[in-house]
């Protein structure tokens, strides 16, 4: 690993950048990625390629009628389970290309022989690009993760923008108050939504300040990079790295109860009532009706996470 200290101009001299100054460049590259990420997530109504996560809830058992008496507990069907599958997150990776290293493409530094030379692509990866990817793929959800995604139970999150107003997952349970003996035969499935979960993208925010490094120009003179040239070069390379790194620094996402990488935002809980059924009866003339309703306390069946990974 070769982390270099690029040269910059100050007080009529070229000096090596401090670690803090290099970190500022890394933060600026992260900001630029946040404005135009190469790995994106979107909301789809179904068929998302991040896979399927499942919500379950209880529903009432079927009504039993007799003309002579109420059906016993054993004769009355138990509450069943409703399963709803969600596959609402789709991942896309852009086709990217980046400027090749000509030997004078990247910033200069002072080597161990006290000579000025241009950084290699490997140097640039170690100094700027890979640290930027490390920030982008961390478990945090601040400005240092601009252009990446997280899950929230809120439709409005400071520093982020909701991808779609529709939830990517909803936790539902049987609405026990909707089932009454007087309503037998009750509709079997009467759900209530407990929590909705939404996909958000972290905003790029304001551009952080940084110092432009020097490069070797076409006449073999030292020249400070322009902001425009810096943006073009490093926009290409951070997007290329995130999309198709061959060094283990490409960005991807996965969804499930387990997976590689860092969790992003709220876990999405599938909760369900754990009772064995609440048997109720109703007599209408010689029609003796019995039905079992969902009951019990809420328990967590599964918790699903969105994860960001580098590979």
pLDDT at position 1: 66
Q: How far apart are CA 39 and CA 53, in angstroms?
A: 21
Structural tokens at position 35: 């404005």
pLDDT at position 280: 99
Q: How far apart are CA 204 and CA 148, in angstroms?
A: 10
Q: Per residue in 228-250, pLDDT tens?
A: 999 999 999 999 999 999 999 99
Among candidates 203, 225, 264, which has minimal Cα distance to 128?
Answer: 225
- CB of 97 closer than 8 Å to CB of 236: yes
Q: What is residue 183's DSSP assignment? A: G
pLDDT at position 11: 86
Q: How far apart are CA 21 and CA 85, in angstroms?
A: 48
Structural tokens at position 27: 């933060």
pLDDT at position 193: 99
pLDDT, mean of each 10-residue run, the chain (311 residues)? 93 95 99 99 98 99 98 98 99 98 97 97 98 99 98 99 99 99 99 99 97 97 98 99 98 99 99 98 98 99 99 97
- Rounded to the nearest 10°, the torsion over CA 15, 16, 22, 24 is -20
Q: How far apart are CA 80 and CA 101, in angstroms?
A: 63
Which residue shows structure tokens 């101009």? 9
- CB of 51 closer than 8 Å to CB of 87: yes
Q: How far apart are CA 303 and CA 300, in angstroms?
A: 7
pLDDT at position 105: 98
11: left (phi over 0), alpha (psi -120 to 50) or beta: left
**What ranges in the chain are assigned the alpha helix state H?**
19-35, 121-124, 130-136, 227-244
Query: Cα–chain-centroid distance for residue 136?
Result: 11
Q: Per residue in 97-153, pLDDT tens?
A: 999 999 999 999 999 999 999 999 999 999 999 999 999 999 999 999 999 999 999
Query: Where in the chain are the domains?
Result: 7-310
């Amino acid at each position: 690993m070769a982390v270099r200290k690029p040269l910059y101009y100050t007080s009529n001299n070229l000096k090596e950048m401090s670690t803090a100054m290099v970190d500022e460049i890394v933060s600026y590259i992260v900001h630029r990625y946040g404005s135009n990420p190469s790995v994106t997530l979107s909301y789809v109504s179904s068929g998302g390629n991040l896979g399927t996560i499942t919500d379950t809830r209880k529903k009432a058992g079927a009504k039993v009628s007799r003309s002579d008496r109420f059906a016993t507990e054993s004769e009355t069907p138990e509450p069943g389970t409703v399963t709803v599958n969600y596959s609402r997150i789709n991942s896309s990776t852009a086709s990217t290309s980046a400027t090749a290293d000509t030997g004078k493409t990247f910033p200069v530094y002072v080597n161990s022989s006290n000579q000025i030379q241009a950084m290699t692509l490997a140097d640039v990866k170690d100094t700027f690009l890979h640290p930027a990817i490390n920030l982008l793929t961390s478990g945090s959800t601040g400005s240092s993760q601009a252009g990446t995604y997280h899950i929230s139970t809120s439709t409005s999150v400071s520093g982020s923008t909701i991808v779609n107003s529709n939830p990517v997952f909803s936790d539902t349970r049987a609405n026990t108050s909707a089932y009454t003996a007087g309503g037998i035969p009750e509709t079997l499935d009467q759900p209530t939504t407990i929590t909705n979960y939404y996909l958000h993208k972290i905003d790029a925010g304001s551009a952080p300040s940084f110092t432009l490094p020097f490069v070797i120009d076409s006449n073999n003179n030292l020249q400070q990079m322009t902001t425009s040239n810096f943006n073009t070069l490093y926009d290409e390379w951070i997007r290329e790295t995130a999309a198709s790194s061959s060094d283990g620094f490409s960005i991807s996402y996965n969804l499930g109860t387990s997976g590689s990488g860092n969790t992003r935002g709220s876990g999405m809980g599938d909760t369900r009532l754990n009772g064995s059924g609440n048997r109720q009866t109703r007599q209408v003339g010689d029609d003796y009706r019995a039905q079992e309703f969902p009951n019990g306390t809420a328990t967590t069946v599964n918790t699903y996470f969105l994860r960001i990974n580098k590979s």
